[in-house]
Amino acid sequence: MDESMLEAYLFEENELLDKLDEMLMSDEKEGDFSTDDVNEIFRIMHTIKGSSAMMSFNSISTIAHKIEDLFFFIRDKGIDFVSAADKKDLFDLMFKSEDRLRAEIEKVENGEPLTENVDDFIATVSAFLDRLKKDEVKGESDAAASASSGNAGSVPGTEKDPGAPEKAQTADAADGSAVSNIDNTAAVNAKLAGLPEDAAAQQFIHIFLEEGVGMENLRAYMIVNALQDCGIPFRTYPEHMDSDPSTAQQIIDNGFFLAFDQADDCQKALGILKSQNHIRSFEVIDAPRPAEEKKEAVPANSPEKKSSGAPASSAPQKNTQKAKSTSETAKKATPIKQSLISVNLQKLDSLMNLVGEIVITESMVTSSPVLKMLPQEAYDNFNKSARQLRKLTDDLQDISMSLRMVPISGVFQKMNRIVRDMKSKLGKDVKLTIVGEETEVDKSIVDSIQDPIMHIVRNSMDHGIEATAAERIRAGKNPQGEIILSASHTSSEVVISVTDDGYGMDYKTILDKAEQKELLTKPKSSYSPREALNLILLPGFSTNKEVTEYSGRGVGMDVVKKNVEAVGGAVRIDSEYGKGTTITLKIPLTMAIVDGMKVTVGDSIFTIPISNINQSFKVTAGDIILDEYGNEMIERMGNFYPIVRLGRFYNIPSKYDANVEEGIMIWLEAGDKSCVLYADDLIGEQQVVVKPLPTYFNNYDLKNVGISGCTILGDGNISIILDVAGIYAAAVENA
């Protein structure tokens, strides 16, 4: 199977399912489906069915086809036809359908075999559809009984069926000369448009697909298939698009045509085309007709036949109005082209790497020692050009970074579904409030933090919020619980917090539990409330007394911590017993390019992320004290912090190891961990491109000794980028 085709398929299906989920959540809050959403769900299922069948994923195609049948019936009868009780069951069925489709899509992503037999689910959907059809039959019987008792004297056919589509009122001229100009115009338009030769066609629709969608012949066939499923008769040009790959280039160059024998069929097709994907534009074109043929084509019961004495001058006016109406319809039907394209993330990675190399090369050129040998005037001119080059590279860097930034709303909206499902299963009344969903973060980081956020929300729902409304009322709280999911960003990081107004956590209970599990590393009395709360991040720690579907197995929060720290972030826990809990994740905006501070130890240069630095300062030997274990400590703003001498930590000879007055202290912070780093000198700030270490270093687990990567400096030297959390863990916690 073509990898690019599979990637395009998976991207499209996940986008459609995300859109479906968002739509269902919104409609369920309103308590009803809108007519537009019914049409949109039908279109989504039709697209999934067609693309899955094309990829031979039969189970996915079968499920989507059955849901499509259900919504075809609902769309035909109108959503108001469905009772309130049936709508509630329909929401549940659609959420189950989404979950079933996602499960099959995940199997495709993981290379696992798809489910061979989905008859159980198909039977569930069929039973619901049969129930709706029985309601329809019952409704028609009741309507017939009412009509026979209340409208016995009415004449059949005298009232217009409100559900029937209105036919366009057309009028042709009474003489051939009156339409000759219209026919000539149509003939010229037909020639320019490259209309296919189809003597029976009355109208054509000329369709162009969006540029670069790929597999144009199959995309066009899916649109054709959607019209065929609705029972509209027409012919396609070019033919055999599904089986003839060579038609793809024809469609790219000239689009494709649909030929209709009846204008009514063409109008019905226009309504369906509006809801189809990947269409750039479409246009209705009248087929050219000789005047005699048009005249003979007027039906015997038309007004023109009955009143042949009508003035000929009225015909051109009517035809002109018809042509104008057709033109306006085509104009309105043409969808607005969206200036959006999907790009493979690997291509963005390559672009970012290339921009990084440009930044490094520009720095190497501008810091070359050869420049100092130039005459002053030439050196000034070079500096002027270098400043302009630096401005352009900065702009290029900003743009390339922004391409990877995506709103976090996609992750946040999925939490709506989790809260909705857990509300029904746990019987809790909880609302989810989302704040700052427009906040943007690097795409690769978004993928990494989705699971941590999901787990935190589940924990809040399961054992954060009180079990009953009565319990909340006794505690003086609103009967309805609330979880607030918020995001904001600073200059260098995104701050995501999950807050609930539930039980909160008792740090004393946590300490007791940790002591039972032998997880304490120092006397229980020496733990601060913040340190005690952080114990829940340890592997195997859980305060749940029983295992539930969602939590209590002793796994989860340690994985949250691990995943967040893997992308350079930190986890913070704040809780007040009886009031609620807030878990905060601090995530870097991007991991590709960071602002760093360069420091030296001996002949080595290290880079520390600016976001981890609180303060740099000088000290005297008298400022340093020793704790009970002989470890060096220093006081900052009323608290004492451990000192990590970078030279000793990495076994590098330091210039000022014996004379601390000459060196520099740097107060660092990562999450709730703080320490003071001692180095020889502070060189200055520089924006650096983060480079991964060579793969053969993976065996040494450098992350656990405070090394997160490296960067190339302007003079060509390599600088190690420090991971503050790793240094603290290795030098302080595990010392």
Indicate the DSSP class of residue 691.
Answer: B
Structure confidence by residue, pLDDT tens digits, 127-146: 999 888 887 666 556 655 55
Whole-number pLDDT of residue 5: 76
Q: Would you list the domain boundaries of the chain?
A: 3-138, 181-296+320-333, 346-404, 406-588, 593-733
Tokens of 224: 């054709």
Structure confidence by residue, pLDDT tens digits, 620-659: 988 999 988 888 999 998 889 999 999 999 999 998 888 8
* Distance in angstroms (rounded) separating the CA atoms of residues 592 and 356: 8
Q: Name the least confident of 20-24, 244-248, 489-493.
A: 489-493
Whole-number pLDDT of residue 162: 42
Tokens of 65: 């086809």
Strands 430-435, 440-442: pairing is unpaired
Q: In the CATH hierarchy, which fold is given to the domain comprising 181-296+320-333?
A: Alpha-Beta Plaits (3.30.70)
Q: Is residue 306 pLDDT above 80, yes or no?
A: no
Residues 441/410, Cβ–Cβ less than 8 Å: no
CATH architecture of 346-404: Orthogonal Bundle (1.10)
Whole-number pLDDT of residue 304: 42
pLDDT-derived band at 340, boundaries 50, 70, 90:
low
C-alpha distances (whole Å) from 147 to each of 133, 150, 158, 162 are 21, 5, 14, 16
Whole-number pLDDT of residue 491: 61
Whole-number pLDDT of residue 433: 93
Q: Is 604 helix (H, G, I), strand (E, B) or coil?
A: strand
pLDDT-derived band at 724, boundaries 50, 70, 90:
confident
Q: In the CATH hierarchy, which fold is given to the domain comprising 406-588?
A: Heat Shock Protein 90 (3.30.565)
- Reference 83, options 128, 20, 36; nearest CA is 128
* Mean of all residue pLDDT scores within the chain: 79
Q: Is residue 54 pLDDT above 90, yes or no?
A: no
Cα Rg of the chain (Å, integer): 35
* Average pLDDT score over residue span 43-50: 88
Q: Could you give the dihedral angle defined by the CA atoms of residues 29, 30, 35 and 40, in that order, rounded to the nearest 10 degrees?
A: -20
Q: Is residue 553 pLDDT above 60, yes or no?
A: no
Q: Is 543 helix (H, G, I), strand (E, B) or coil?
A: coil
Percent of the chain with pLDDT over 90: 22
pLDDT-derived band at 150, boundaries 50, 70, 90:
low
Structure confidence by residue, pLDDT tens digits, 118-128: 899 999 999 99
For the chain, the straight-line distance linking the first and the last C-alpha, in angstroms and rounded, comes to: 53
* Distance in angstroms (rounded) separating the CA atoms of residues 116 and 118: 7
Q: Is residue 220 pLDDT above 80, yes or no?
A: yes
* Distance in angstroms (rounded) separating the CA atoms of residues 489 and 111: 37
* Distance in angstroms (rounded) separating the CA atoms of residues 263 and 289: 14
Whole-number pLDDT of residue 193: 55
Strands 593-601, 604-609: pairing is antiparallel
Q: Name the least confident of 181-185, 246-250, 609-613.
A: 181-185
Structure confidence by residue, pLDDT tens digits, 165-180: 443 333 343 344 434 4
Structure confidence by residue, pLDDT tens digits, 267-281: 888 878 877 777 888
Whole-number pLDDT of residue 158: 40
CATH 2.70.98.40 fits 3-138, yes or no: no
Superfamily of domain 593-733: CheA-289, Domain 4 (2.40.50.180)
Q: Is residue 297 pLDDT above 50, yes or no?
A: no
Structure confidence by residue, pLDDT tens digits, 687-699: 777 777 777 776 7
Indicate the DSSP class of residue 622.
Answer: G
Write down the residue that tokens 């880079």 correspond to: 607
C-alpha distances (whole Å) from 529 to each of 201, 511, 557 are 81, 9, 18
